[in-house]
Amino acid sequence: MKILVIHGPNLPFLGKLSAVTGTRLTLDKVNTALRRMAREAGVELKILQLYSEENMLKAVARNRGDISGLLISPGALALNCQALQELLAIFKMPVAEVHLAEMPMAGESFARSALCEVASKRILAPGLSAYQQGLNYLIGTIIPNS
């Protein structure tokens, strides 16, 4: 079983934001933690970092036959990603939408996300915790009795 992980725009700069809070969390550290969790659960991950809705659409469409779920952190793109919303409604796969509390527009992006109607789980939490909750949800959804 495979889960597609999509990091939205500006997430490569998570380390710059987390340096201010003292957590020193980087996108590489997030990816390492997610890979470890997936490996322990017997799940494969495909991780992408994309800057546009168009590229997110292409990634989901290209991988749709190979994935059992989507973990997405759309960031500010969440406010206007109706095409992605429509595509996910068509494919009807489990979707965990995460918003990182560290990001400047996280609260607004979470509250007004176009994905709220297609995401089966939505999380607004600090970086690694948000991703871990999302991945745990997907693992529990796609693997019976996990």
pLDDT tens digits, one per residue of 75-134: 889 999 999 999 999 999 999 999 998 888 888 888 899 999 999 999 999 889 999 999
Q: Provide the CA 140 distance to its chain's centre, in angstroms.
A: 16
In the chain the first and final C-alpha atoms are separated, in Å, by 13
Distance CA 36, CA 47 (A): 13
Fold classification of 2-142 is Rossmann fold (3.40.50)
**Which helix (DSSP H) or strand (DSSP E) does residue 44 occupy?**
strand 44-49
Q: What is the pTM of this model?
A: 0.93
55-80 per-position pLDDT tens digit:
999 999 999 999 999 999 998 899 99
Structure-block tokens of residue 36:
């470890």
Instruction: Give pLDDT, residue 16.
Output: 78
- Per-residue DSSP letter, 67: -
Whats the size of the chain, residue-wise? 146
Q: How many CB atoms lie within 10 A of CB 90?
A: 12
Beta bridge partners of 3: 45, 69
The structural domains of the chain, with segments of one domain joined by +, span 2-142
Q: Are 2 and 41 in contact (CB under 8 A)?
A: no
